[in-house]
C-alpha cells in the first residue's frame, strides 16, 4: 500500500490511525500469518477494490483481503523474522534445524522481549517453522541438548521460561551452584548423582567432591522431607561418591542396612526407589538379612511389579533357587496368589529354554483361571479406563489360549468361557476374539455364547443344585458386586488417605478384606456358571440317587437313621440333609434296598443296611 491509499483508508476509518505503521508494512513481498491458513505472502494491492492480494501456503492462492482485517486479525512478520528468512533463504535455517538445534532455539529466544519465552511460545514458533506434527519429536530431542548448552537457561519448573543468557554458563557450574544453594534433600540427591557422573570430565567438580559428600551426608539426616526409599537412594549416591574419592562409606550414617532393618514393608520400599537400582536393592536385602533374605525376596516377588519381578526371579536363579521358584509358582497357583505381574512374566517367558524347567507344568487350565481372576481384580481396582497389560497380552498372543487349554476337558473349557464372559477386564471386541479361540478348540462353547447351553441336570456337566440354593448364591453374588466390593474400595481409599501405609492398620485390614471378597467373587462365578437346577422330580425310586430319602439301619446297634440326599448346596446336618457330593452320599448312590455299605457317620465307621428309599418330593421331610 502506498501513502495515498493509506491516507484515504484512515480518512474513511479514523480508528486505523493508531495502526498506521502496520498498514505501511503491508507491501508486496511482505509476509503475514493467518490463524487457519498459515503463512502468506502479499503479492499486490488492488486500489480499486481496496484489497490486498495474498498467496497463502495452505492452498489459498490470490486471496483478496481488506487491509483493516490484516492489521487487526493477522500477525505481520518483520523482515528478519525466522519464518520470513526461512522462506527467502531456507538453507541456513535448515542447517540449524538438522545440525544445530540449540542454536535455533537461541535464535528464537533472541526475538522475544528480555530474550525469554515459555515452552508454549517456543512451540508456537516451531509449529509454524517445522510443521504442526513434525516439530514435537524434534523439540523433545532438543530439550535434552539444551540442558548442556551454556547459552540457554532451562527452566526448573514447567511454568518458568527458557532464557537466553547474556553470559554463557557451563552446565556443570550451574548444577554445582544449584547443589549448594538448594535446601531440598531430594533435589540435592539428584544433583549429586549428576555431579558424580560429570566429575570424570571436569576437574572443578572433582575438587568439590569432598564438600559435596559432607553436604549430602547432612541432608540424609533429614527424615521429614524424604520417604525411606528416597533416603535409601540418597545413601547409595552418597556411598558411590565416598568410594569415588576413596572415603569409607561404612563409617557414614545413616547406613543402607539401617533402612532395610527399620522397614516394616520392603515391597512398599521397593516402589519408592528407581527401577534401575532393583538388583542393588535385592543384594542389600541379602547382606542385611543373611538368615531370612530368601524368604523376604520370595515375598517381594509375590507382590512385585514391572522390572522388580524379573530382577527378583533372576536374582534367585543366580543363587540356585530354580526348583524352589518352580514349586512356589505352583503353590501360589493353587492358593490363588499368583498376581498379574508374575503371571505376565510367566507367560512372556513360557517358551524360553532358560526357564523351561522352572515353568514346567504351569501351562494348564488352572493358570488361565488365575489369569482371568487377576484381570478381573485389576479391573475392579481401576476407577478409570487404564489399560490392563495382562489382558492385552492374552488378547495379542494368538497361541496362548490354545497352550493353556491343551489338556482341558470340555467341562473345564465351558467353565472358563463362562468366567471370561463375566470378566470386567476386557473390552467387548477383545472378549469376542478370545471366545472365538475357545470355540475353535471346543465348538460346544458356542452354545454358552448364544445362551443355549443345556440345562438338564447331570453330574458330568456341572453342579446339580436346587432352585432355592441357586437363588441364594445369586443373591450373595449381587450383594458382593453391588455393595460389599464397592464399599471396600471406598474403605481402602479412605484408609490410604490417613497417611503412612506401613503402620496403617485400617488400610491393611481393608486390603485383606478385599482379597477375601474377590476370592469369594471368583468362587461364586465358577459355581454359578456350573450350576444346573433341579426340583428333584426326576429322582429314582428303585435305587439311591440325587433327590432320594434313604432309611438306614446300623449293623452294630440296630438304630435307624434317615438321610435326604439333595443338591450340592442343600446340606443341613441338623436336619439330616446331605449334599450328593459328600462321602456318605457317594457311598450310597446307586445302591438298592437290602444292600449294605460300610460308611462313617458321626466319626464312627460301621456297616449300614438300606431299609428303604423314597423320593424327596413325596417324603414328610420335604414338607417339614
Please give the Cα distance from 567 to 530 (Å, whole number). Answer: 13
Asked if the structure places residue 111 within a domain, the reply is: yes
Residue 402: per-residue pLDDT: 92
How far is Cα 256 from Cα 233, in angstroms, rounded to an integer? 9
Is 89 a member of any domain?
yes
* Between 201 and 494, the higher pLDDT residue: 494
CB neighbourhood size of 266 (10 A):
19
Number of domains in the chain: 3
Q: What is the CATH number of the domain that holds 608?
A: 3.10.50.30
Strands 463-466 and 51-56 come out as unpaired
This prediction's pTM: 0.53
> In this structure, is residue 317 part of a structural domain?
no
| Residue 47, in any domain of the structure | yes
Same domain, 159 and 95: yes
What confidence tens digit (pLDDT) does each residue in 485-510 have? 888 888 877 776 665 555 566 777 87
Whether 88 and 162 map to the same domain: the answer is yes
Radius of gyration of the chain from Cα atoms? 38
Residue 358: burial class (beta carbons within 10 Å; 0-12, 13-18, 19+):
buried
Residue 452 resides in a domain:
no
Q: Indicate whether 27 belongs to any domain.
A: yes
164 and 91 in a common domain: yes
272 three-state secondary structure: coil
Rounded to an integer, what is the distance from CA 77 to the centroid of its chain?
Answer: 48
Q: Are 27 and 12 in contact (CB under 8 A)?
A: no
pLDDT of residue 457: 38
Closest C-alpha among 459, 467, 472, 462 to residue 417: 462
Question: Domain containing 578: what range?
Answer: 548-623
Alpha-carbon distance of 152 to 143, in angstroms, equals: 11
Q: What is the grid cell recorded at 36? A: 487457519
State whether 598 and 559 are in the same domain: yes
Q: How confident is the model at residue 169 (pLDDT cuts 50, 70, 90)?
A: low
Comparing 106-115, 297-306, 424-433, the range with the smallest average pLDDT is 424-433
- Is residue 5 classed as helix, strand or coil in its secondary structure? helix
Closest CA to 621 of 561, 577, 559: 577
pLDDT of residue 503: 56
Q: Please enumerate, as own/partner, the contacts of 25-28 that have beta carbons within 8 Å and a separation of 24 or more.
A: 25/76, 26/1, 26/52, 26/67, 26/70, 26/71, 26/76, 27/1
Which of 136, 169, 202 is the C-terminal boundary of a domain? 169
How many Å apart are CA 201 and CA 171, to the nearest integer?
Answer: 12
Neighbouring residues of 76: CB distance < 8 A, sequence distance ≥ 6:
22, 25, 26, 30, 31, 32, 70
Of 467, 373, 366, 482, the closest CA to residue 419 belongs to 373
- For the segment 441-473, what is each residue's pLDDT rounded down to a tens digit? 998 888 777 764 433 334 345 788 998 999 998
What residues are paired with 560 via a beta bridge?
553
Which of 116, 150, 169 finishes a domain? 169
- Residue that is last in its domain, among 146, 169, 192: 169
93 lies in the same domain as 72: no
Q: Which of 193-207, 224-238, 484-498, 542-556 has the lowest mean pLDDT?
A: 193-207
Question: Quick one: which of 168, 39, 157, 159 has its CA closest to 102?
Answer: 168
HEC-encoded secondary structure of 50-77: CEEEEEECCCCCCEEECHHHHHHHCEEC
Whether residue 67 is contained in a domain is answered as yes
**Same domain? 59 vs 88:** no
Q: Return the pLDDT at 451.
A: 61
Q: Is the pLDDT of residue 103 over 90?
A: yes
Q: Is residue 51 part of a domain?
A: yes
136 pLDDT higher than 70: yes
Would you state the pLDDT for residue 204? 61
On whether both 34 and 112 belong to a single domain, the answer is no
Residues 6 or more apart whose Cβ sits within 8 Å of residue 36: 58
Lowest mean pLDDT among 84-88, 349-353, 506-510, 564-568: 506-510
Question: Each residue of 19-59: pLDDT tens digit?
Answer: 888 888 899 999 998 877 888 899 999 888 889 999 988 77
**What cell numbers appear for 563 in the block?**
438321610
Name which of 154, 153, 168, 149 is nearest 102 in CA terms: 149
Same-domain status, 94 and 161? yes
Q: Determine the pLDDT at residue 349.
A: 94
Distance, CA of 401 to CA of 370 (rounded, Å) = 13
Task: Specify whether 143 is located in the same domain as 120.
Answer: yes
- Do 108 and 138 lie in a common domain? yes
The pLDDT of residue 564: 93
Residue 72 shares a structural domain with residue 87: no
Give the CA distances from residue 389 to residues 138, 149, 304, 423, 582, in Å, rounded to whole numbers and listed in that order. 30, 39, 15, 15, 41
What value does the mean pLDDT of the chain take? 85
- Between 77-81, 208-212, 272-276, 390-394, the lowest mean confidence (pLDDT) is in 208-212
* DSSP assigned state of 38: E
Sheet holding 577-579, edge to edge: 577-579, 560-566, 548-554, 604-615, 596-601
CATH number at residue 98: 1.10.10
Q: Does residue 385 register a pLDDT over 70?
A: no
- Does 106 lie in the same domain as 53? no
Q: What is the CATH number of the domain that holds 35?
A: 2.30.30
Q: How far apart are the first and last CA of the chain?
A: 107
pLDDT tens by residue, 177-186? 777 777 888 8
Amino acid at each position: 500500500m502506498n501513502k495515498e491509499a493509506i491516507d484515504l483508508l484512515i480518512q474513511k476509518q479514523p480508528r486505523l490511525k493508531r495502526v498506521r505503521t502496520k498498514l505501511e508494512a503491508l507491501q508486496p513481498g511482505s509476509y503475514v500469518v493467518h490463524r487457519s491458513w498459515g503463512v502468506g505472502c502479499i503479492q499486490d494491492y488492488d486500489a480499486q477494490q481496496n484489497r490486498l492480494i495474498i498467496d497463502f501456503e495452505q492452498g489459498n492462492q490470490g486471496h483478496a483481503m481488506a487491509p483493516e482485517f490484516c492489521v487487526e486479525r493477522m500477525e505481520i512478520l518483520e523482515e528478519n523474522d525466522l519464518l520470513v528468512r526461512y522462506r527467502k533463504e531456507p538453507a541456513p535455517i535448515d542447517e540449524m534445524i538438522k545440525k544445530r538445534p540449540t542454536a535455533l532455539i537461541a535464535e528464537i529466544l533472541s526475538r522475544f522481549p528480555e530474550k525469554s519465552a515459555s515452552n508454549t511460545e517456543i512451540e508456537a514458533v516451531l509449529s509454524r517453522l517445522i510443521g504442526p506434527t513434525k516439530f514435537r519429536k524434534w523439540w523433545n530431542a532438543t530439550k535434552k541438548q539444551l540442558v548442556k548448552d551454556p547459552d540457554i537457561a532451562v527452566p526448573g519448573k514447567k511454568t518458568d521460561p527458557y532464557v537466553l543468557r547474556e553470559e554463557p554458563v557451563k552446565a556443570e557450574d550451574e548444577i554445582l551452584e544449584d547443589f549448594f544453594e538448594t535446601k531440598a534433600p531430594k533435589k540435592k540427591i539428584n544433583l549429586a548423582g549428576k555431579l558424580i557422573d560429570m566429575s570424570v570430565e571436569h576437574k572443578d567438580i572433582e575438587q568439590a567432591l569432598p564438600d559435596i559428600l559432607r553436604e549430602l551426608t547432612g541432608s540424609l539426616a533429614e527424615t521429614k522431607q524424604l520417604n525411606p526409599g528416597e533416603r535409601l537412594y540418597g545413601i547409595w549416591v552418597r556411598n558411590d561418591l565416598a568410594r569415588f574419592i576413596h572415603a569409607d562409606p561404612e563409617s557414614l550414617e545413616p547406613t543402607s542396612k539401617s533402612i532395610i532393618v527399620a522397614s516394616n514393608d520392603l515391597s512398599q520400599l521397593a516402589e519408592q526407589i528407581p527401577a534401575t537400582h532393583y538388583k542393588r536393592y535385592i543384594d542389600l536385602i541379602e547382606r542385611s538379612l543373611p538368615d531370612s533374605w530368601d524368604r523376604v525376596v520370595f515375598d517381594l516377588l509375590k507382590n512385585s511389579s514391572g522390572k522388580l519381578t524379573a530382577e527378583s526371579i533372576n536374582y534367585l536363579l543366580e543363587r540356585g533357587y530354580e526348583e524352589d521358584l518352580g514349586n512356589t509358582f505352583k503353590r501360589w497357583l493353587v492358593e490363588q496368589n499368583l498376581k498379574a505381574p508374575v503371571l505376565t512374566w510367566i507367560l512372556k517367558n513360557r517358551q524360553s529354554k532358560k526357564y523351561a524347567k522352572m515353568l514346567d507344568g504351569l501351562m494348564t487350565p488352572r493358570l488361565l483361571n488365575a489369569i482371568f481372576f487377576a484381570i478381573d481384580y485389576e479391573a475392579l481396582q481401576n476407577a478409570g479406563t487404564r489399560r490392563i497389560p495382562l489382558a492385552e497380552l492374552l488378547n495379542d498372543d494368538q497361541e496362548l489360549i490354545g497352550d493353556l487349554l491343551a489338556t482341558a476337558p470340555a467341562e473345564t473349557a465351558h467353565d472358563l468361557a463362562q468366567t471370561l464372559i463375566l470378566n470386567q477386564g476386557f473390552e467387548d471386541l477383545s472378549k469376542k476374539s478370545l471366545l472365538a479361540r475357545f470355540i475353535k478348540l471346543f465348538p460346544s462353547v458356542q452354545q454358552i455364547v448364544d445362551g443355549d447351553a443345556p440345562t438338564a441336570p447331570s453330574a458330568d456337566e456341572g453342579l446339580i443344585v436346587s432352585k432355592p440354593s441357586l437363588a441364594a448364591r445369586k443373591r450373595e453374588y449381587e450383594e458382593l458386586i453391588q455393595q460389599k466390593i464397592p464399599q471396600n474400595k471406598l474403605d481402602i481409599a479412605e484408609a490410604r488417605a490417613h497417611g503412612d501405609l506401613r503402620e496403617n492398620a485400617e488400610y491393611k485390614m481393608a486390603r485383606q478384606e478385599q482379597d477375601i471378597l474377590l476370592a469369594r467373587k471368583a468362587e461364586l462365578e465358577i459355581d454359578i456358571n456350573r450350576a444346573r437346577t433341579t426340583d428333584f422330580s426326576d429322582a429314582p425310586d428303585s435305587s439311591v440317587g440325587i433327590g432320594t430319602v434313604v432309611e438306614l439301619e446300623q449293623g452294630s446297634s440296630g438304630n435307624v437313621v434317615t438321610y435326604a440326599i439333595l443338591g450340592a448346596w442343600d446340606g443341613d446336618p441338623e436336619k439330616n440333609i446331605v449334599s450328593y457330593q459328600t462321602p456318605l452320599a457317594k457311598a450310597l448312590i446307586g445302591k438298592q434296598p437290602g444292600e449294605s455299605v460300610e460308611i462313617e457317620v458321626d466319626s464312627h465307621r460301621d456297616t449300614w443296611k438300606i431299609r428303604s428309599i423314597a423320593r424327596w418330593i413325596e417324603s414328610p421331610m420335604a414338607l417339614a
